[in-house]
Amino acid sequence: MADAAKLIADKFPDVLSLKVLEREDCEKLKMGCYLAVARGSIKPPKFIHMTYKPKDATGNEKKIAIVGKGITFDSGGYNLKAGAGSLIESMKLDMGGAGAVLGAAMIVGALAPAGVEAHFIGACCENMISQDAYRPGDVITASNGKTVEILNTDAEGRLALCDGLVYAQEQCGVEAVVDTATLTGACIIALGGNVGGLFTPSDSMAAQIKAASQTGGEKIWRMPLEEEYFESLKSPIADVKNVGSRWGGAIIAALFLKEFIKTDTVKWAHLDIAGPAFQLDKGQATGFCARTLAHWVAQYGSG
């Protein structure tokens, strides 16, 4: 993933720059949730940050970010994916969100829109099992200081994303951020394999993403953020649990991510692309939402 990001940045050196944060860099930023997921693998995590700035940047550009879940293999951790229907053999697909972010960066580099500074972030690592892997029952701390009680190590994508979202806000100073992830099987149950789920408390963000998806020819559907469902995420020993009720799982995952957004100053949207990101019958990725995200960036600069 980091090598692919370098190829893209090198292709458009006038407008794209790349920084890859290593484990030590992420430790300094106290990315406890992201690093907990990465702990079980012998492969080091790579936190990818690519920045787009127009060639004739004035310094007055609108700052936005896209954050992608980049789990390059998801074993489920100690909540191992096992048995019929686990699809563990296809879990290389769990980097589909970060893959779409890189695809969007390449499109934006080629389009070179004015009026916008865009940050493309991929929280990339493996979710594996080892003697040092994180465990159900652990309490870990995100980079914004929020504590998370781990009930299920297979709900790892939201942990990587939450530190990515904090990074986008605190290190990049963005006014709007979209995250994208192959996050929940529940979203596939709700919308099937062809439609992505859109979650946002902002009507203006919903309209922007919907318009971008129509331009890009990709199907998304706005889902509710039912605040009452957050009750199942409350923990007696931490600020929040990493899983809640089985019912409404895609909504609950979105509500977890919302906890890491400064909603009073930053507009946010979440795209759950678990269904359309991968064609299981063909064993290949689709690149779903790369076009939508690229058009959102381009339109944001001209809006």
**Closest Cα to residue 253, out of 215, 225, 219?**
225
For the chain, strand residue ranges (E) read 16-21, 46-52, 62-74, 116-127, 139-141, 147-149, 176-181, 196-199, 220-222, 240-241, 267-272, 278-279, 284-285
**Closest Cα to residue 209, out of 70, 60, 66, 111?**
66
Instruction: Using the Cα atoms of residue 162, residue 271, residue 297 and residue 303 in order, give the sign of their dihedral.
Output: negative
Q: Which of 6, 30, 53, 81 is catalytic?
A: 81
Question: Quick check: is 158 catalytic?
Answer: yes
- The span from the first CA to the last CA of the chain, in angstroms, equals 31
Contact 110, 12 (CB under 8 A): yes
Q: How many CB atoms lie within 10 A of CB 88?
A: 14
d(CA 67, CA 53): 17
**Closest Cα to residue 117, out of 289, 264, 300?**
300
Backbone angles phi, psi at 274, to 5 degrees: -60, -35
Q: Which of 63, 158, 241, 291 is catalytic?
A: 158
Output the CA–CA distances (angstroms, integers) from residue 136 to 15, 108, 147, 150, 232, in the order listed: 43, 40, 14, 5, 17
d(CA 276, CA 197): 10
Instruction: Report angle CA 125, 21, 254 to the nearest 5 degrees.
Output: 55
Q: Which positions are catalytic?
A: 81, 158
